[in-house]
Amino acid sequence: MTLDPIKLDDAPCFLCGEKARRVLHEKPPFKVVKCKGCSLVYVTPRLNSDEIKKLYGSTYWNSDRAKDYGYTNYLADAQLYLNTFKMRSKLIDTYQNNPGRILDVGCAAGFFLKVMKDKGWETHGIEVSEAVATHARSELNLPNIHIGDASLLENFEKNSFDVITFWDVVEHLEDPRQALSQARMLLKDQGVLIVETQNVESIFAKIMGANWQHYKHEEHLYHFSPETIRRLLSEAGFQVLKNTPRFGGKKVSINFIVERIGKIHPILTTLFSPLKIIGGFNLYLNFFDEMIVVAKKAEE
């Protein structure tokens, strides 16, 4: 892939500000580096702010190179996402006994919010991509979907949500600390924050090396570890209650597996393509390389 150099920005560590780093992997023009100050793993150079905003158009959700960017056909896997979030909703049940008010930041087509609405919750969502947010409104009957980036958090009433979720979102944000700090202001004192993101220190990530499926350099700007996500949340005013890979798996199709196995080597996509004849067959996969973090507001 060739990108115009003018569209790329060098990035210091946003977490501690340190510029010194060690290169872990390289796929020109991108490098995955590890900060020498706080050990945050991040991508530099990266797309500049304007280009990042352009990423999440319709082609993101119907991508012809999904192993590197976006999804092959996001909406086609609607039932798989609904089933995944039904499982994950059980985690929320352990912290909130009764339905309340929930905000999903980066809600995409609204599948998680649909699950929560069916369980009696008052649902609200923020989604930067109008291309997919319209599905949540029109097809899933979720009216409280606000189209825009995380800056929309400023528009909500303080101390008004029982649960705020960031599913596979913080690694996409240029400044996740600012977004999480704003989310803290919206959370009730007894509310909980749920953050899911990839664990760069997981065994599977280390085995896969540069071929790890979460190294998608245009969109995944940061790769957190248990320590760096704890630091991020602490600086945003949260205390971590639980960090677990248990609910980090997903229901996936055979087509998804064939597509992503191409990250290891392109020839594997060809070799495994005959599996597509299985069609609608799907399974639950959890490589324990994702973290689901539950946090509460830390005391002032």
Phi and psi, residue 120, nearest 5°: 100, 5
Top mean-pLDDT range of 127-136, 262-271, 272-281: 127-136
The pLDDT mean for the chain works out to: 91
| pLDDT higher at 7 or 272 | 7
Q: Are 171 and 225 in contact (CB under 8 A)?
A: no
Do you know the residue count of the chain?
300
pLDDT tens, position by position, 56-111: 999 999 998 888 899 989 999 999 999 999 999 999 999 998 999 999 999 999 99
Chain centroid to CA 50: how far? 20
Domains of the chain by start residue, with CATH:
55-297 (3.40.50.150)
Partner residues linked to 238 by β-bridges: 297
Tens-place pLDDT, residues 203-240? 999 999 999 999 999 999 999 999 999 999 999 999 99
pLDDT digits (tens, 9 = 90+) for 233-276: 999 999 999 999 999 999 887 776 666 666 555 665 555 455 55
Instruction: Please give the Cα distance from 150 to 170 (Å, whole number).
Output: 10
Listed in order, strand segments (DSSP E) in the chain are 8-9, 21-27, 30-35, 41-44, 46-47, 101-105, 122-127, 145-147, 161-167, 187-198, 222-223, 238-244, 250-253, 282-285, 290-297
Whether the predicted pLDDT of 24 surpasses 70:
yes
Q: Is the pLDDT of residue 196 over 90?
A: yes
Q: Assign 3-state DSSP to the chain and report helix, strand, coil percentages, each to 5.
A: 35, 25, 35
CA atoms within 13 A on the CB side of 43: 25
Is 0.85 topped by the overall pTM? yes
